[in-house]
Every structure is written in C-alpha cells, then in structure tokens.
Amino acid sequence: MAIAAKLSRRFQISIPKTVRDERHWRAGQEFVLLPKGRAVLLMPAPALSDLAGIAKGADTEGYCDRDDRY
C-alpha cells in the first residue's frame, strides 16, 4: 500500500495519520534518516534504554580505545 506525502516550502513532511497510528508514532519523537540509493529510510531513533545490553557477549579482545590511537 503506497501512501503519498508532500514536502512543504519549509521542507517539512506530514506523516499521514494512518501511518502514525499503525506505527504508534507520537509528536516530538526523534527519527533517523538513512540514505539508501535514491531512497531514504525513516525509522524511529532508539531510546538509550533500548540499547542497554545490545553488545552483551561481544568479543572485546583486540579492542582499541581512543587512547590507543597514537
């Protein structure tokens, strides 16, 4: 299902209510824009609490810190 939106003179895009309701997006929510070829992917920015534990079990061996650069 394709839903169209128009870019305003102030470079704003209104997201249709059906899309906002379906995705549970709210006013003031932050988004990330990811360029993908000729398209742009729009996705909600994750909350810091959503990122907790994301690297659990990651191999930290050979990790270089900023202080290790020089």
What would the CATH number be for the domain defined by 1-47? 2.10.260
56-69: pLDDT as tens digits: 887 777 777 777 77
- Alpha-carbon distance of 54 to 14, in angstroms, equals 32
For residue 68, how far is the Cα from the chain centroid? 30
The pLDDT score that the predictor gives to residue 54 is 81
Residue 5 has pLDDT above 70, yes or no: yes
The pLDDT score that the predictor gives to residue 60 is 75
The residues spanned by each domain of the chain are 1-47
- What residues form DSSP beta bridges with 65? none
For residue 1, what pLDDT band results from cuts at 50, 70 and 90?
A: low
- Alpha-carbon distance of 8 to 3, in angstroms, equals 16
6-29: pLDDT as tens digits: 999 999 999 999 999 999 999 999
- Alpha-carbon distance of 62 to 48, in angstroms, equals 26
Predicted TM-score (pTM) above 0.75: no
